[in-house]
Amino acid sequence: MDSSLIQTIAVYALPVIFAITLHEAAHGYVARLLGDNTAYMMGRVSFNPMRHIDPLGTIAIPLILYFATGGALMFGYAKPVPIAFRNLRNPRWGSLWVALAGPGCNFVQALVWAVFGVALALLSIDEPFLTRMAQAGIGVNLVLGFLNLFPLPPLDGGRVLVALLPPRAAIALARLEPYGFFIVMALVMTGVLTKFWLSPLVGLGYDAVRAILTPFVSLLN
């Protein structure tokens, strides 16, 4: 393992752990607020990353893709949080808010990492490792958030769309869930999802972060 890979892993480790852990915990937390205690009872409303790591999706697949593509592509997932949607006080709209909780948490984290980066600059802390970590935190959370909003089950965006569609269309879309992962993997591997979904939306995410922080930065100058 060369030094550049070790440095990359060190820079991305905390942002990725926080992004995955808080994303999954947010699903379980909102589900509990809306009537379903399944995730809470199984210990998944937790800041402990070990409760959310999937050996295949969180470790094996990202490493295989990294080495197979020379670092050009990384894709992975955490262990899904168990939600009994029938237990929600309003299963249809409750499932929508539970689904949005994960990406919403990632967007908040992206903003927090951006604030951290700005704070480093304002305090004149010239530490390249921390600066790169802040940048990684923004990027990782924007990518994870928008990837999960792709409108195909079992991704969060697919569950949102199922909640919004009329019953017949929602049932038809829900039937794709067993194949959704393979469809998403194919779109990622061919670059279609990145070109037409992730790149435009992540760009907008960066613009939104800058727009939110610019007024505060100008006040401090």
Q: How many CA atoms lie within 13 A of 170 on its CB side?
A: 13
210 phi and psi angles, rounded to 5 deg:
-65, -40
Two tokens at 29?
A: 């937390």
Full-prediction pTM beyond 0.85? yes
Region 5-28 average pLDDT: 88
Region 64-79 average pLDDT: 66
38 phi and psi angles, rounded to 5 deg:
-55, -55
Instruction: Kindly report, residue by residue over 99-158, the tens digit of the pLDDT.
Output: 999 999 999 999 999 999 999 988 888 899 999 999 999 999 999 999 999 999 999 999
* 24 is known as an active-site residue: yes
Instruction: Kindly report, residue by residue over 173-184, the tens digit of the pLDDT.
Output: 999 999 998 998
Q: What is the mean pLDDT of the chain?
A: 89
Neighbours of 51 (CB within 10 A): 19
Place of tokens 């995730």: 39
Report pLDDT for 107: 97
pLDDT more than 90, % of the chain = 60
Among 12, 24, 78, 153, the active-site one is 24
